[in-house]
Amino acid sequence: MKQIISQFQVQGEPVSCERYGNGHINETYLLKTDAPHDYILQKVNRLVFPDIPNLMRNIIAVTSHLRRQTSDPRRVLTLVPTRDGGMYYVDSQGETWRVYEFVTDSICLDRPENERDLQQSGIAFGGFQNQLADFPAHTLTEIIPHFHDTPARYEQLKEAIRMDRAGRVKEAGAEIDAYLSYEKYADSLMKLLAKGDLPLRVTHNDTKLNNVLMDASTRTPLCVIDLDTVMPGLAANDFGDSIRFGAATAPEDEKNLDNVGMSLRLFEAYAQGFLSACGKRLTALEKETLPMGALLMTLECGSRFLADYFNGDVYFHNARPGQNLQRARTHVTMVRDMEGKLDRMRRIIQGLD
Ligand code: ADP
Ligand code: GN1
Ligand code: MG
């Protein structure tokens, strides 16, 4: 680690460097030095992100755009350059490393403690979309093509079932049937996009509550992080992925499915925050599609967990065996709950307009 850290222009001598956070993709470390400055060191997941030069180019472009809109360094991610002036370092094993300034006095939540926490994250992600409204989308590389193309994700699930690489398909007949029974929803938004009825915007695409940093004392948003998947996308997907994670009544991998569902109170809190920050930018149809975005992002993410389970847990970090299957079960349970709540979600959105 010392050799890697020494490549970057960090202040002071390293004191500790420990695994940090609950992200499912990159390997993240909190780097403390004897200077009054902490850093985030990350090994970028090269299986998930094969085109790292363009991934880093996207992040530099987006953070530069955001930095022009604020004078507060805590409100935008700051990359620390390498000694030779680059923005990342490739080690002798071919692994890519990058360093960010640790955003001081910030907290990162894995679950909202109350409605206000989720409303504040809605303000953060709505604000992010608002700040990027005039970003030239064509200059971004689509870093994972078809990232939120739910029909394509269904094809990947079916391929994983066909290949059965880990020999687990026989244990998961009920989950497969459940996912296939909801396939009817998969193209609901993609077909509106194809017809030109929904606009492509510059979106974050991974709007989990733990991808926003809050001020530790005020619990108001400071900055949106995890910019690896910023790409052209649908507003409803950014909205929906936040609901999937943040408005859930139980953690992503809850074992007791009786605890799993979507809270309409949390839904409303997020929607209020999100629309207050970017509602003026959205078309009437985009607003109408927000509840379907929540259902679709939950369905899609669950189908990705299930496919990864069948592929042998090669994509998402798993802390224990069977975690992906558990996640797939909670997600399809949540989809069932959301399906029954679609009308109420729609009325909430109309009421906020
Ligand atoms: P992943 O793609 O694996 O989710 P993230 O970029 O989201 O990786 O980082 C993982 C975690 O590290 C975040 O959820 C957050 O807790 C923490 N983190 C990342 N960047 C920063 C930062 N600049 N300042 C403070 N904490 C950070
Ligand atoms: C991953 O990196 P992280 O943990 O913020 C994933 C998202 C999923 C999420 C599920 C690049 O997000 O798409 O929705 O896990 N990121 C990528 O929790 O695949
Ligand atoms: Mg993350």
Ligand nearest to the CA of 324: 2
- pLDDT tens-digit map of 16-60: 999 999 999 999 999 999 998 899 999 999 999 999 999 999 999
Mean pLDDT in residue range 280-285: 96
pLDDT above 90 coverage of the chain, percent: 98
Find the ligand nearest to 143 CA: 2
Mean pLDDT of 60-70: 96
The reply to whether CATH 3.90.1200.10 applies to domain 115-352 is yes
Say how many Å lie between the CA of residue 349 and the centre of ligand 1: 30
The average pLDDT across 283-305 equals 98
Q: Is the pLDDT of residue 146 over 90?
A: yes
Q: Is the pTM of this model over 0.85?
A: yes
Q: What is the pLDDT of residue 40?
A: 98
Locate the domains of the chain by residue range: 2-104, 115-352
Q: Is the pLDDT of residue 332 over 90?
A: yes
- Ligand 2, pocket residues at CB < 6 Å: 23-25, 48, 206, 208, 211, 226, 228-229, 241, 252, 301
Q: Which among 41, 39, 5, 46 has a CA at the least distance from the CA of 25?
A: 46
Q: Which residue's alpha carbon is nearest to atom 17 within ligand 1?
A: 21
Nearest CA to ligand 2 atom 7: 206
Average pLDDT over residues 3-20: 96
CA distance 214 to 75: 10
pLDDT at 37: 87
279 pLDDT tier (thresholds 50, 70, 90): confident
**106-107/14-19 β-pairing:** unpaired
- The predicted-structure confidence for 161-207, as pLDDT tens digits, reads as follows 999 999 999 999 999 999 999 999 999 999 999 999 999 999 999 99
Say how far apart CA 87 and CA 61 lie, in whole Å. Answer: 12
Overall average pLDDT of the 147-172 stretch: 98
Tell which atom from ligand 2 comes closest to the C-alpha of 315: 19
Q: Which of 247, 229, 202, 203 is nearest to 337 (CA)?
A: 247
Give the pLDDT score at 160.
98
CA of 351 to the centre of ligand 3 (A): 31
Q: How many CB atoms lie within 10 A of CB 162?
A: 10
Which pLDDT belongs to residue 284?
97
Q: What is the CA(211)–ligand 1 centre distance, in A?
A: 7
Residues counted in the chain: 353
Give the strand order in the sheet containing 96-101: 14-19, 27-33, 38-44, 96-101, 89-90
| Neighbour tally for 101: CB within 10 Å | 17
Angle between helix 173-181 and 290-311 (nearest 10): 150
Give first-to-last CA distance, the chain, whole Å.
51
Instruction: Give the C-alpha separation, 307 to 150, whole Å.
Output: 13
Q: Looking at residue 176, what is its pLDDT?
A: 98
Determine the residue of 226, 301, 316, 317 to mutate for testing ligand 1's pocket, defined as the one with the most ligand atoms within 8 A of the Cβ atom: 226
CA of 147 to the centre of ligand 2 (A): 11
C-alpha to C-alpha distances, 175 to 18, 248, 253, 294, nearest whole angstrom: 36, 19, 15, 20
Centroid of ligand 1 to alpha carbon of 291 (angstroms): 27
What mean pLDDT is predicted for residues 273-277?
Answer: 97
Q: What would the CATH number be for the domain defined by 2-104?
A: 3.30.200.20
Give CA–CA dist 342/349, Å, rounded: 11
Q: Measured between alpha carbons, how far is 322 from 330 in angstroms, rounded to an integer?
A: 13
Categorize the per-residue pLDDT at 91 as very low, low, confident or very high, splitting at 50, 70 and 90: very high
CA 96 to CA 238: how far, in whole Å?
Answer: 27
Q: Which ligand is nearest to the CA of 205?
A: 2
- Protein residue with least CA distance to atom 15, ligand 1: 21
Residue 90, phi then psi, degrees to nearest 5: -105, 120
Distance CA 16, CA 38 (A): 10
Q: Which ligand ends up closest to the CA of 230? A: 2
Pocket test for ligand 2, best of 24, 59, 108, 252 (most atoms within 8 A of CB): 24
pLDDT value of position 353 = 78
Q: How far is the CA of 24 from the centre of ligand 2 (A)?
A: 6
- What's the whole-number mean pLDDT along residues 233-254? 98
Report whether pLDDT(245) > 90. yes
- Beta strands 14-19 and 27-33: pairing type? antiparallel
